[in-house]
Amino acid sequence: MSDLDAFIAGLPKAELHLHLEGSFEPEQMFAIARRNKAVIPFKSVEEVRAAYRFSNLQDFLDIYYQSANVLLTEQDFYDLTFAYLTRVAADRVRHVEVFFDPQTHTARGVSFAVVADGILKALADGEREFGITSKLILCFLRHLSEADALATFKRAEPWLNRIAGVGLDSSEVGHPPSKFTRVYDAARAAGLKLVAHAGEEGPAPYVWEALDLLKIDRIDHGNRSLDDDKLVARLARERITLTVCPLSNLKLCVVKDLKDHPLRRMLQLGLRATVNSDDPAYFGGYVNDNFRAVTKALGLTKAELVTLAKNSFLGSFLDDDDKARHLTAIDFYAAGN
């Protein structure tokens, strides 16, 4: 292991952009399919992995939604979530803010309760077992209507004391943030935090809309913001966190090569960028794999790695005392390494 890889391995960090359904590893997919007597269109784990070659976001989403069909019971959602936490405990992840897509499941007859309760129980057990704290973020599927998002939000009402925020994911182009102003107004009125995927494949005006119409607290991806100097200035001035996902960007052809990845430029422009895995089972790695790959490609320094780790806590929805405690732990670690 190189010096920097070892430094990354032990660096305390938070993960702020992770779709639980995207942490569904092929091995677990086969195990759960067998348990549920569900049929999957693959013969082996190798065949599944071979199918994970995408030329854009939609290519990936088609296979991602199909795989999620295997998840039926509360135990399935528990196992999915607990497996993710077990895996990232080894990456020295201390806090996670994870997405789930209830509409993917309720649309095929799995109740909101099954999904949310399974996830929440695993998050509680993960904190007990690994000391990893968590926040849960309910994502609306943007290819569906706002009426469907509003109905989903209504269904979520009994869980809102255990849901930290709402997000927006799925097919971006053609489904701008402006489509979801009313459901974001409702979530804001309920006191929830607000995030949205914007500027992954969609243009910079989608990021403006997420800021001005949805009034989001954080941007997921945000790569295309760099096309617009005024937008960059605003993001820097308002210290808006970007949850950047290098290996996802590579696998979905948002960047051609990791050497072209804008992460370092974002830091140099004063943006609060973070490193995350997005859908690790599909994109070739968990959060430390993302740190290692982008560090190698861009030649990131220890100081930049420390900034990225600090940004992950600064950009989190933890309270100020918890943030301060994690920042101190990073300084302590960096001083000894």
Which residues are catalytically annotated?
Answer: 200
97 belongs to the binding site for Zn ion (CB under 5 A): no
Q: What are phi and psi of 245, to 5 degrees?
A: -130, 90
Q: Shortest approach of ligand HPA to residue 174 CB, angstroms? A: 13
172 belongs to the binding site for Zn ion (CB under 5 A): no
Are 143 and 175 within 8 A, CB to CB?
yes
21 belongs to the binding site for Zn ion (CB under 5 A): no
Q: Shortest approach of ligand HPA to residue 251 CB, angstroms? A: 10
Tokens standing for residue 151: 């109905």
Q: Which does 179 bind (CB under 5 to 8 A by kind): ligand HPA, Zn ion, none?
A: none
Q: Shortest approach of ligand HPA to residue 216 CB, angstroms? A: 15
Q: Shortest approach of Zn ion to residue 188 CB, angstroms? A: 21
Q: Which does 76 bind (CB under 5 to 8 A by kind): ligand HPA, Zn ion, none?
A: none
* Residues β-bridged to residue 99: 19, 137
Q: Which does 200 bind (CB under 5 to 8 A by kind): ligand HPA, Zn ion, none?
A: ligand HPA
Least Cα distance to 305 among 106, 36, 10, 1 occurs for 10
Q: Which CB atom, from 169 or from 209, has the smaller least distance to ligand HPA?
A: 169
Count CB-CB contacts under 10 A for residue 1: 9
Q: Which does 310 bind (CB under 5 to 8 A by kind): ligand HPA, Zn ion, none?
A: none
Q: Which does 22 bind (CB under 5 to 8 A by kind): Zn ion, ligand HPA, none?
A: ligand HPA
Q: What are phi and psi of 244, to 5 degrees?
A: -90, 145
Q: Which does 48 bind (CB under 5 to 8 A by kind): Zn ion, ligand HPA, none?
A: none
> Residues, the chain, total?
337
* Strand, coil or helix: 36: helix
Q: Shortest approach of ligand HPA to residue 335 CB, angstroms? A: 35
Task: Give the residue closest to ligand HPA by C-beta.
Answer: 169
Residue 10 amino acid letter: G
**What strand order describes the sheet that includes 13-19?**
13-19, 93-100, 133-141, 165-169, 193-198, 218-221, 241-244, 272-275
Q: Which CB atom, from 74 or from 278, has the smaller least distance to ligand HPA?
A: 278
Residue 87 amino acid letter: R
Q: Which does 316 bind (CB under 5 to 8 A by kind): ligand HPA, Zn ion, none?
A: none
> Among residues 13, 278, 280, 290, which is the contact residue for Zn ion, using CB under 5 A?
278
Residue 164 neighbours by CB under 8 Å, 6+ apart: 97, 135, 136, 137, 192, 193, 317
Q: Which CB atom, from 91 or from 278, has the smaller least distance to ligand HPA?
A: 278
Q: Shortest approach of ligand HPA to residue 264 CB, angstroms? A: 21
Least Cα distance to 197 among 227, 174, 176 occurs for 176
Tokens 């993302």 correspond to 290
Are 163 and 137 within 8 A, CB to CB?
yes
Q: Which CB atom, from 200 or from 209, has the smaller least distance to ligand HPA?
A: 200
Tokens 């997000």 correspond to 167
> Using alpha carbons only, what angle is made at residue 81 by residues 311 and 121, rounded to the nearest 5 degrees?
105
Q: Which CB atom, from 79 or from 279, has the smaller least distance to Zn ion?
A: 279
Q: Which CB atom, from 118 or from 222, has the smaller least distance to ligand HPA?
A: 222
15 belongs to the binding site for Zn ion (CB under 5 A): no
Where do contacts with ligand HPA occur on this chain (CB under 6 A)? 19, 22, 57, 169-170, 197, 200, 248, 278-279
Q: At what angle do helices 302-314 and 320-336 cross, to 10 degrees?
A: 160
Q: Shortest approach of ligand HPA to residue 322 CB, angstroms? A: 27
Q: Which CB atom, from 198 or from 309, has the smaller least distance to ligand HPA?
A: 198
Give the binding site for Zn ion (CB under 5 A).
Answer: 278
